[in-house]
Structure 1
Amino acid sequence: MSEDEMDIVQSPGGETDVFVVSSEEDNARTGEKHKKGVKVKRKVTTKGSSKSSTSRESSDCWTFFEKVMVKSEKDPKVEELKAKCMHCHNLYIYVQGSSTTTLNRHMKKCKIFKNKVATKLIQSRLGYKPSNVRGESGLPLGVPSNGYEHTTMKELIAKMVAVHNYSFRMVEHEWFNIVMKYSNPLYQEIGRKAIRAECLRVFNKEKEILKAALKNVDHISLTTDMWTSNQTISYMCVVAHYIDKHWRMQTRVLAFMELDPPHSGNVMAVALFECVTEWKIENKIVSITLDNASNNDSAVRDLKAMFSVRRGTDFEAKYFHVRCCAHIVNLVVQDGTACMSTLVTNLRETVKYFKKSPSRLHKFVEICRSLGLKIGAHLTLDVCTRWSSTYKMLETGRPYRQALVSYADSDANYKWKPTNKEWDMFQLIEPLLFAFARVTTAFSGQSYPTANIFYPHIVSIKIALRKAMVHKDKTYNAMGHAMMDKFNKYWEEPNNVMVLATFLDPRYKMKYVDWCFGQIYDEDKAETELSAFKKDLDKLYEKFDSQKRQAEPQCKNTCNTSTSMPPADSEFLSFLSSTSTKRSKSELRNYTDDANEGMVATFNLLEWWKDVEEDDEEEDVEKVKLPKSVADCNYYSPRSDPAATSSTTPVVLSGHPALRELRFRVEVEIAGIPDQAWDRSSVETMLAPFLEIEHLLPSTRDGSDMSRFRFTAWTANPDAIP
């Protein structure tokens, strides 16, 4: 538009009017028609600028800076013009029309700008979506594709430091920063104080997440232990175990606290109760597992008193204390294997002796090769508080018994050679020791429930001890009696919480409990214990069933009862409510009567109960309408129309594979229920011989439809419903 003319006029309001006079060539290009030789003015108005477009800033720095008005530091009422970096957001004093040297100098030093330039210069990398695979820390093992974020990197480093017990100073190591810079030039160095603060922030964040998750948990079991470090500082750890909504077992450390002396039971009880109240889970604790120290027993007594005051009748003190089974097994073995103490001590010192010097271990290996012994598992040192590790030490050392004799002849300083008599004794009692080691390993599991396998393993130990008590060898016989005495000291008084867990394993159920008591006790006591267990089972079922029924919302009667029914009928309904029978225990009875699951090694207890829950909640079932005679429910209702006193109620049924006696699931509608009888207990009383109510449907539960009383139920014979 070389032939165009342009006029610029400044308006009083700060707007600039630009008049462009178009030539004939431009008019032809735009398709506009005008008289030949006439030039047309077009008006373009620009706002917020007091200068023409020809006087814009020409410096390159304005590509990275912007002008902003900020409050003056001297006088907040006055605003002053400043230049703001678009990358690091630093502010610089700037006067309109002045030099931009300071701004250009900043662009040469701006780290964020230089990092972005360096990123563009290097070869671009492929972006990977986050992987679903997770490591031991629970974090995704993928690389996010949304670019580098220093905040996220800082949080990941803090989690790495916490998970792997790294030093805070590691982030200041030269080669750590070299690796991080090489991985991503945008990485910014972090100091040890900054990463410490980040670790605390992450801890508080994860704590709030766990608190929110525990709100949806109904029952929590605690385990706790206490020990003293080599700096003579005492610590106590509190761990929570629970089943989440997906039926997966979860374990979380709630507290790792320093506990000042004295370490009495009362001090421990107060510390534990303060811990659970801080997490707001005091109403969800059902049990606590501790070892058999005397101060733990007194701590449990104080905790029972605290929880009883806090929770009242809701607290089951009878099942609260669970003794550490692995610790008891270790005590039983330690007391019973006094005859093995010399062998254990000699082998323990032998392992220490070899590990102190590589030359001794090399010499021992050469002796094994010269004797033609196959070098298999290495000699291992045991942990005295875990019998399974002691058994492993003895088992791995037995193949090298001849090599130890030869080594003792060649090394005068070696004084812990086990004798042949000791090895023969170990070979004799090895089956019994193996049973204890297997139990210890099973009880120490962390990824699966262990309460349900308690009695199966205890029965195996009891049977092995009885065989040892009648053995011909006097030493073996004495060891069996010593172990049995220690065994009865802790478990002669049964803990029914373990029996309940075994009963709730579909592989065992009541039949296994009956057989189990017969193996542990004599005939009279077994019958007594079984009867007591059944009473406890019924009592717990009634308690939880009552809590479930109370949690269901009940319909409120808003009608005038004085005119809706005759007095005699009202009195009769009151009598029905007061004499209503207890709810049928069909779920418990049918679970007991169902066939046991197979003894499969891969059986998953939690998955089995998850499937049962999903089956019970499944609503998409095939519906079949029954004949009219089956569903006629005729009740007089003054509220209803006389023509509606008799109605055909659709009854819906479906088979349920988990139930046997009450194997039909029906949906029932009853018309004409009086206002006074509009509650679950009254209907249950009237229909108790024929069905068991499962759930009230929403319209009945919330009272939105008072013309029909609708519910689902289980029945043995739908044709028998009146």
Structure 2
Amino acid sequence: MIILNDYPLHIVQQPAFRSFVDSMQPNFKMVDIGTMETEVYAIYLKERDNLQQALGNIPGRISLTVGSVTTSQTLGYISLAAQFIDSEWRLHRRILNFMMAPWPHSEDAVSKAISKGLSGWNMHDKLFTITLEHDCSSNDIYSANLRNHISSDNILNRKGQLFVVRCYANIVNAVAHDVLASVHNVIYLVRESIKFIKADSAHEEKFAEIAQQLEIPSTNILCLDVTTEWNTTYLMLLAALDYRQEFTILESCYDNYNTAPSTEDWKKAEAACGFLKLLHASALIMMPAEGNPTANIFFLDACSLQLELQNGKAHEDVIIRDIAIGIHERFDKYWKDCNVVLAIAVSMDPRYKMKMVEFAYCKMYGPTDAAKYVKVVDDAVLELYKEYVAQPLTLSPVYIDQVPADGLPAIETTLAPVTTSPSMAGSGLVDFDMYLSEATTMDQPFKHELELYLEEALIQRTREFDVMKWWQDNTVKYPTLSRMARDVLAIPMCTAGVGSSVFLAGSRSSMTLDDYRSSLRPELVEALFCAKDWLQYSP
């Protein structure tokens, strides 16, 4: 109860709680704080062993997310979580470590701490990618150090080129805050105006009377925003825009109200809301009804956002153009860093495959330049696929897959023996098999799984489509490619987990330990955080 509900350990000493327990069962002997700490550790160790066993049995590789949490004393914690797809093609995310970051802070120290945290999980041969929440330039060193510390014990796909991924929620939030910063004066005026209206019932009545006279059709309700959640500021501005005339009229009714935004201010607010609408929609796709989103859904949204920002830079409206120019640089850096891994992920979606990559790049770069960008993704997909071909299959495939390119040796796989009845045995069938092989070779060149998959027609796009169910159903048809798809679809493009607000991802105010947790020993903090996560999935 204490772990799952974040109650303080000293609840066992609180008179009200002790009285409540005593009223339910007078014979119950209440434990002390020391006993509670021991119990927490026991649960933590037991659930850790269960998770370690489960991770050892998963069929694919593991991708990681790295998050940071600060304390009221400005000390830092690092949270490390594993994301993977199990044998039933279900996506999971589990916290692995919640460690205090070394002091003083440095990229090298943090990467060493992460390496140390991973050392106890025996996943050196399973690590696939690592997703960082930050997008600042200093993390270029951070990423390099992580790669160097971990790659010595781990076989990284594509020589580590796909190893580091940036958090999509973090970049969306950072761009949203840039938009808000560009109209901070307008936001201040709107906030002060709403405060004036809400502070006195007479002001509210007057405002409602003006709205009724003007016959404003809006159903939006004026309310103050939560400054740490940018989506609430967007909704506040959106509602205020509907009532812009009322604010001006209200100012003429009260001498002590002088914060009504001007016509120019409303134009800025309208332009900002146009961009915030796009970012709000982007954030919502990272919040599925249940579970974490698979990696294939992010490419389309990132492309749309990049294209809108590019177009905004050339917009005829100077206000829109200035905002777009101010925010595009940040998102463009993310796009350049991550568009290949986003494209690889969408290529594993049978509704889109490489056709979506070709289509999107043509719109973004034009038909001539798009070809070179598409080739980069094509080469990356093929190279990654060849690495999976070079790895032995855990189960005997229906047929042997080969990729005769770049001198890569063909993989010889021993097929399971076929039991035949006496009437089916005989040299005639051997000759028949040889005939079929020769006929197939003469009729058409050999095609490996990736070619067959990409050449097949796209499947129909429906709201109910489940990409993981599709790959589960087609594992026999694509034994090698399905292993690659399993790992690619499990890449966490966003560090915000289930139940976390994507509007807060990467925000310092959202990731701060309270004073009570900050006062506990780091080992106990880790036990409480990790055990809470694991107990949610415990039988």
What is the TM-score when the length of structure 1 is the normalising length? 0.53
**Aligned: 1:264 with 2:106:** yes
**Aligned: 1:235 with 2:100:** no
1:606 to 464, 468, 492: 468
Superposition pairs of residues 282-681 of structure 1, within 5 angstroms: 282-290=124-132, 291-312=134-155, 316-335=159-178, 339-348=182-191, 353=195, 360=199, 362=201, 364-372=203-211, 376-377=220-221, 379-383=223-227, 387-402=230-245, 404-405=247-248, 416-428=259-271, 430-443=273-286, 447-492=291-336, 495-549=339-393, 584-613=446-475
Is 1:364–1:403's contact at 8 Å kept on the other side of the alignment? no
Question: 1:231/1:308 Cα in 2 relative to 1: closer, same or farther (>3 Å)?
Answer: closer
1:170 to 4, 7, 11: 11
Is 1:455–1:516's contact at 8 Å kept on the other side of the alignment? no
1:394 aligned counterpart, secondary structure:
helix
Is 1:465–1:480's contact at 8 Å kept on the other side of the alignment? yes
| Letter paired with 1:262 | P
Shift of 1:359: 7.3
| Letter paired with 2:109 | V
Shift of 1:220: 1.4
- Percent identical among aligned pairs is 26
- Which residue matches 1:274? 116
Q: Distance in 2 between matches of 1:364 and 1:462?
A: 43
Q: Distance in 2 between matches of 1:313 and 1:461?
A: 30
Shift of 1:509: 0.7
| Letter paired with 1:212 | Q
Shift of 1:282: 2.7
| Letter paired with 2:106 | S
Larger radius of gyration: 1
Is 2:166–2:338's contact at 8 Å kept on the other side of the alignment? no
Shift of 1:287: 1.2
| Letter paired with 1:607 | K
1:207 to 44, 48, 59: 48
Is 1:367–1:406's contact at 8 Å kept on the other side of the alignment? no
Q: Distance in 2 between matches of 1:295 and 1:415?
A: 44
Shift of 1:248: 1.6
Is 1:368–1:403's contact at 8 Å kept on the other side of the alignment? yes
Structure 2, unpaired ranges of 5+:
213-217, 397-411, 415-444, 480-539
Q: Distance in 2 between matches of 1:370 and 1:321?
A: 56
Question: 1:362/1:277 Cα in 2 relative to 1: closer, same or farther (>3 Å)?
Answer: farther
Structure 1, unpaired ranges of 5+:
1-159, 556-582, 618-722
Is 1:307–1:315's contact at 8 Å kept on the other side of the alignment? no
Shift of 1:416: 4.5
Shift of 1:450: 4.5
Higher fraction of helix: 2
1:310 aligned counterpart, secondary structure:
coil
2:392 aligned counterpart, secondary structure:
helix
**Aligned: 1:248 with 2:87:** no
After superposition, the CA RMSD in angstroms is 3.5
Shift of 1:527: 0.4
| Letter paired with 2:55 | L
Shift of 1:410: 7.2
Q: Distance in 2 between matches of 1:505 and 1:379?
A: 41
- Which residue matches 1:575? none
Q: Distance in 1 between matches of 2:459 and 2:258?
A: 55
Question: 1:295/1:413 Cα in 2 relative to 1: closer, same or farther (>3 Å)?
Answer: farther
Question: 1:195/1:228 Cα in 2 relative to 1: closer, same or farther (>3 Å)?
Answer: closer
Q: Distance in 2 between matches of 1:608 and 1:361?
A: 58
1:266 aligned counterpart, secondary structure:
helix
Shift of 1:497: 1.5
Higher RCO (CA-CA < 8 Å; seq separation 6+): 2
Shift of 1:523: 2.7
Instruction: Give the paired residue count.
Output: 428
1:246 aligned counterpart, secondary structure:
coil
2:108 aligned counterpart, secondary structure:
helix
Question: 1:346/1:257 Cα in 2 relative to 1: closer, same or farther (>3 Å)?
Answer: farther
